[in-house]
């Protein structure tokens, strides 16, 4: 689409240049899902996937170019934008006219390493423990005495691509009373900045629920232990290891209320259909290294650069490939999809607000705002004559099943 600047470097370029050497070293230790992600990214928007031919409709120009299909892999930085925009638009209908809070639940480092070896089980347990902590604390009449509705988004990365599993949870300030007949507003706090539920209590409850679930998984023999964690397969070692986490404080951060439903939508869009790193953050690919920018939040969110060996860059990127079919955005309480719109409708009725009043436009923050991606895609302006428009004139079939470039197709499925 015209007007969208193309990044100078892409993750696919790193795979094409250094993927063969990376797979020769790390291939036996990669899962099939990780290999398929590499394969999808290197084929995305290339002749391997087919596409269509576009031609300028200006008779004096007739410039033509191929436009290839996308891979639609959820880990591809080039394919998440439209799905993200559709999700944001859908959430506009579900917003409530109350303050919204942002809560982050983070796993301690030792448990994060175990999560790498058991991603489906431990990431699922992370969702259950965080949701259970919020609901149990909110149900207590001393704190709120109401049923919450919220949704959570799993992130497994930090700014430097290190493994850092945590949940971004967005919670309206209040909930539906136990009898379902009233909306219970969050209590007003004197400073106006604190979370409406006690964060220390929330953190302790989160820790207890997660460790109880972890012990149950161990007793059922469902956990795998490899490498440095191999000794934890012994019950005595496992109990001692878990006991060390039980006496530590677990990190739960709660941010001040977010301002306005429209700003909530724009804010939440950053945390949904994202991959570990965008192509725009890549600054250079040369001499076997990849340089990218990152924000150091411990230093006032200063923008810094980091240079990694290409193989290490790809290794870190693949840490964040989720198990096939794993759902990374989940809804709870009266936001739960299993309830359809009944939970949201009940909350609106109790708040005495109509859905039409909530359809607020998202204020544009920059030309690349998410709502722009929802506009009907019209023909692009011709890049040569700047008068005509590019129109589809011919379908292009896929040229090969294997990735383009020097990569051996056999290594992707070995």
Do 242 and 391 belong together in one domain? no
What is the residue range of 413's domain?
A: 1-87+277-318+377-414
Say if CB 137 and CB 202 are below 8 A apart. yes
Do 129 and 4 belong together in one domain? no
For residue 370, being part of any structural domain is answered with no
Taking residue 386's Cβ as centre, other Cβ atoms within 10 Å add up to 11
Do 78 and 203 belong together in one domain? no
Do 147 and 184 belong together in one domain? yes
Do 100 and 181 belong together in one domain? yes
For residue 263, being part of any structural domain is answered with yes
For residue 28, being part of any structural domain is answered with yes
Mean pLDDT is lowest, of 11-25, 145-159, 269-283, 323-337, for 269-283
For residue 397, being part of any structural domain is answered with yes
The whole-number pLDDT of residue 259 equals 67
Please say if the pLDDT value at position 356 is more than 70.
Answer: no
Q: What is the pLDDT of residues 172-224, one digit of tens each?
A: 989 999 998 999 988 766 555 668 889 999 999 999 999 999 999 999 999 99
The whole-number pLDDT of residue 354 equals 56
Do 313 and 328 belong together in one domain? no
- Strands in 163-172's sheet, in edge-to-edge order, are 252-254, 100-106, 163-172, 149-157, 329-333
Helix ranges restricted to H, 220-333: 235-246, 261-268, 310-318
Do 123 and 193 belong together in one domain? yes
The whole-number pLDDT of residue 319 equals 95
The total of structural domains in the chain comes to 2
Q: Which residue has the higher pLDDT, 174 or 84?
A: 174
User: Mean pLDDT, to the nearest integer, of 242-250?
Assistant: 93
SS percent in the chain: helix, strand, coil, step 5: 40, 20, 40
**Residue 127 belongs to what H/E stretch?**
helix 119-139
The whole-number pLDDT of residue 256 equals 73
The whole-number pLDDT of residue 339 equals 59
Taking residue 119's Cβ as centre, other Cβ atoms within 10 Å add up to 20
C-alpha distances (whole Å) from 353 to each of 82, 91, 188, 269 are 30, 16, 21, 24
Do 384 and 352 belong together in one domain? no
Q: Name the pLDDT band for 262 (thresholds 50, 70, 90).
A: low
Q: What is the pLDDT of residues 91-134, one digit of tens each?
A: 777 888 888 888 999 999 889 999 999 999 999 999 999 999 99
The whole-number pLDDT of residue 62 equals 87
User: Mean pLDDT, to the nearest integer, of 273-292?
Assistant: 92
For residue 368, being part of any structural domain is answered with no
Q: What is the pLDDT of residues 148-182, one digit of tens each?
A: 999 999 999 999 999 999 999 989 989 999 998 99
Mean pLDDT is lowest, of 33-47, 279-293, 347-361, for 347-361
């Amino acid at each position: 689409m015209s007007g969208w600047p193309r990044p100078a470097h892409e993750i696919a370029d790193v795979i094409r240049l250094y993927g063969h050497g990376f797979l020769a070293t790390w291939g036996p230790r990669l899962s099939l899902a990780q290999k398929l992600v590499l394969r999808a990214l290197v084929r995305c928007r290339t002749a391997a996937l087919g596409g269509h031919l576009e031609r300028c409709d200006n008779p004096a120009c007739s410039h033509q170019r191929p436009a290839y299909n996308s891979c639609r892999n959820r880990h591809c930085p080039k394919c998440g934008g439209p799905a993200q925009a559709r999700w944001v638009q859908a959430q506009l209908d579900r917003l409530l006219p109350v303050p919204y809070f942002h809560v982050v639940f983070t796993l301690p480092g030792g448990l994060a390493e175990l999560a790498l070896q058991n991603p489906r089980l431990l990431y699922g347990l992370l969702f259950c423990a965080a949701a259970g902590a919020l609901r149990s604390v909110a149900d207590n009449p001393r704190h709120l005495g109401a049923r919450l509705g919220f949704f959570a988004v799993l992130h497994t990365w930090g700014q430097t691509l290190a493994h850092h599993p945590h949940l971004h949870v967005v919670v309206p300030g209040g909930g539906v009373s136990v009898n379902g007949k009233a909306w219970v507003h969050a209590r007003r706090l004197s400073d106006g900045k604190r979370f409406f539920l006690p964060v220390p209590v929330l953190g302790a409850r989160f820790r207890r629920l997660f460790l109880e679930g972890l012990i149950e998984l161990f007793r059922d023999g469902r956990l795998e232990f490899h490498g440095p964690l191999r000794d934890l397969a012994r019950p005595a070692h496992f109990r001692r290891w878990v006991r060390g986490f039980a006496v530590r404080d677990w990190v739960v951060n709660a941010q001040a209320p977010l301002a306005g439903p429209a700003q909530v939508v724009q804010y939440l869009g950053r945390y949904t259909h994202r991959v570990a790193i965008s192509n725009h953050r890549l600054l250079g690919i040369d001499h076997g290294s990849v340089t990218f920018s990152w924000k150091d939040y411990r230093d006032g969110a200063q923008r810094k650069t980091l240079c990694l060996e290409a193989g290490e860059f790809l290794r870190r990127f693949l840490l964040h490939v989720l198990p096939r079919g794993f759902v990374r955005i989940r809804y709870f309480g009266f936001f739960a999809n299993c309830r359809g719109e009944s939970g949201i409708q009940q909350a609106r009725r109790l708040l005495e607000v109509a859905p039409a009043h909530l359809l607020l436009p998202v204020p544009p923050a920059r030309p690349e705002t998410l709502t722009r991606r929802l506009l009907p895609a019209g023909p692009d302006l011709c890049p040569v004559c700047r008068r005509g428009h590019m129109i589809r004139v011919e379908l292009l079939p896929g040229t090969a099943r294997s990735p383009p470039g020097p990569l051996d197709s056999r290594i992707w499925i070995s």
